[in-house]
Amino acid sequence: MSKILIATSNPAKRQEISKGLLDLVQQGLRILTLQDVKTDGEPIESGNTFEENARIKAEFYGNQTGLPTISDDGGLMIDALDGQPGVKSRRWPGYEATDQELIQYALDQMKDIPSSKRTAQLVTCVCLYHPEIQRYYCQQEGIEGIITDSPSTWDTNGYPYRALFVVRKYNKLYDDLTHEEHEDINHRIKALRKLKTHIKEQVMV
């Protein structure tokens, strides 16, 4: 049976990626998580872009396990702040912050920015790394939106910036999207769809 490792410790990401690969599972692909394999240490996310960090994580876990590995990296990019927080989305204040700390920090950074200049993007890059052939396949997708000054009160589940992000297409907070609207704009799933050809050709053989 063909196997692939989803290399993330974020339960919400793991669930979303697994869902995006469901049709391949039905065709015989077996999904493994970091809980199913033995690894040593954690990768140092030293990249300057989402793609670089996604590659670092996929290569780290792929080489340790010998398994084709999917990893992703992403975050918020605010135009008025020159793309911040970008790759530092989780560590924007200078340390590994909680969801609520990140929400408050973002609000503080945006307090003097007028509504007409609060445009932003939620970006993700998903990478497949195959250790046997030492090749990467990466796809990046994004969602256009605006940063609000009135965050939602939904549970953030490891995605703090969604509480502040108004999706331009629906003019609604990300957290207030219906299931169908969320499926329509889901950038991680869109990136995965573009990787499926490579998964079929390089993994499911």
**Residue 122 lies in domain:** 3-202
Please state whether the peptide bond connecting residue 85 to the residue before it is cis, i.e. omega within 30 degrees of 0. Answer: yes
Active-site positions?
73
- Rounded CA-CA distance 126/172 in Å is 25
Note if the pTM is more than 0.85. yes
Q: Please report the beta strands in 1-149, taking only residues with DSSP state E, as ranges in sequence order.
A: 3-6, 30-33, 69-78, 84-85, 119-130, 135-147
Instruction: State how beta strands 119-130 and 30-33 pair.
Output: unpaired
- Rounded CA-CA distance 58/73 in Å is 10
Q: What is the pLDDT of residues 78-98, one digit of tens each?
A: 999 999 999 999 899 999 999
Q: Which two tokens stand for residue 153?
A: 């009160």
- Rounded CA-CA distance 190/182 in Å is 12
In eight-state DSSP terms, residue 166 is: E
H or E stretch covering 24 = helix 22-25
Question: Is 163 within 8 Å of 152 (Cβ atoms)?
Answer: yes
pLDDT in tens, the chain (205 residues): 799 999 998 888 899 999 999 999 999 999 999 999 999 999 999 999 999 999 999 999 999 999 999 999 999 999 999 999 999 998 999 999 999 999 999 999 999 999 999 999 999 999 999 998 888 899 999 999 999 999 998 888 888 999 999 999 999 999 999 999 999 999 999 999 999 999 999 898 7
In eight-state DSSP terms, residue 40 is: -
**Domain of residue 97, CATH code:** 3.90.950.10
Instruction: State how beta strands 119-130 and 84-85 pair.
Output: unpaired
The count of structural domains within the chain is: 1
